[in-house]
Amino acid sequence: MIYRLQRLPLRRPRHARGITMVEFVIVFPLATLFVLSLIQFGMVYMAKLTLNHATFMAARIGSLHNANEGYMREALIRGLIPFYQDNTITGDKERMAKAYLKSQLANAGLNPFRAEIEVLSPSKDTFSDFGIKDPKTKVTYIPNDNLEYRDLAPGSKSRQNIRDANLLKIRVRYGYEMKVPLIGGVISRMMCGGSIGVEAYGNVKPWDALLATSPTDCLKYYKRPLGDAVYMPIESFAIVEMQSRAESN
């Protein structure tokens, strides 16, 4: 004879009923925050690639125009156009023209929240070591002709040789607007959350925004005094060999 074992349905104890809902309530917010964070930081990564290209174009234009910051800023503004495009505008010319105007306004010289360009090299010490004053224009410049025949001894202040002095190195810092809801608020709270924020970022109280003469990182990016948008500072560097002589601004 063959006996069949009948499985009895498993029953959870009464005290374990509803545990699935409790687990869901605990895990779902964390999982949602994790997914939103992945989306946001993926967008930040793409923004970093765009900034890298804009920084390189600014350095390239600077190498052709005597390391002039005006030319570099104009090239940077053009390189930042992708951040300001309105994809609802179907016409390419109209969309690009409006994005260019927005980029100009957002990064104008008087705007304290504009993208920053810092020329790291040639520095003042570099001009002090290798600078030559043009007798006609009275402009101090670093010679960039016949570099292979020039003395490669390092300068006393910059500790660079003449070839290093002809490398244009810039740093660009840009405030990228956080796009994903909730993540911007989390980042703002982490970086500048009242008394618990990171002190290195210039943590301030809300009313200090009215008295600030120069915006700290908290005011400039994470907690702007006007508007609810949260911005994350991203940086990019570029090094290009000078194609014209670097002139002191």
The pLDDT assigned to 128 comes to 93
Residue 3: pLDDT band with limits 50, 70, 90: low
Distant-in-sequence, close-in-space partners of 178: CB < 8 Å, separation ≥ 6? 40, 184, 187, 229, 230, 231, 232
C-beta of residue 233 within 8 angstroms of C-beta of residue 217: yes
Alpha-carbon dihedral sign for residues 121, 125, 126, 128: positive
The pLDDT assigned to 38 comes to 93
One-letter amino acid of 164: D
- What's the CA gap between 155 and 150, in Å, rounded? 13
The residue that leads in pLDDT, 194 or 229, is 229
Residue 6: pLDDT band with limits 50, 70, 90: low
> 79-114 burial, b if ≥16 CB within 10 A, otherwise e?
bbbbbbeeeeeeeeeebbebbbebbbebbeeeeebb
- When mean pLDDT is compared over 74-83, 144-153, 228-237, the highest value belongs to 74-83
C-beta of residue 31 within 8 angstroms of C-beta of residue 210: no
Mean pLDDT of 136-153: 89
Q: Does residue 199 surpass a pLDDT of 80?
A: no
Terminal Cα-to-Cα distance of the chain (whole angstroms): 103
> 42-65: per-residue pLDDT in tens?
999 999 999 999 999 999 999 999
One-letter amino acid of 29: P
- What's the pTM value of the predicted model, to 2 decimals? 0.81
The domain locations on the chain are 31-177+242-247, 179-229
> 23-39: per-residue pLDDT in tens?
777 888 888 889 999 99
Q: Would you mind telling me the total number of residues written for the chain in this entry?
A: 249
Mean pLDDT of 75-91: 92
Type and span of the H or E element at 142: strand 140-142
The pLDDT assigned to 25 comes to 79
Type and span of the H or E element at 14: none
The pLDDT assigned to 204 comes to 52
Q: Does residue 209 surpass a pLDDT of 60?
A: no
Q: Does residue 193 surpass a pLDDT of 70?
A: no
Residue 76: pLDDT band with limits 50, 70, 90: very high
User: Six-digit token pair at 82?
Assistant: 């992708």
Q: Does residue 112 surpass a pLDDT of 50?
A: yes
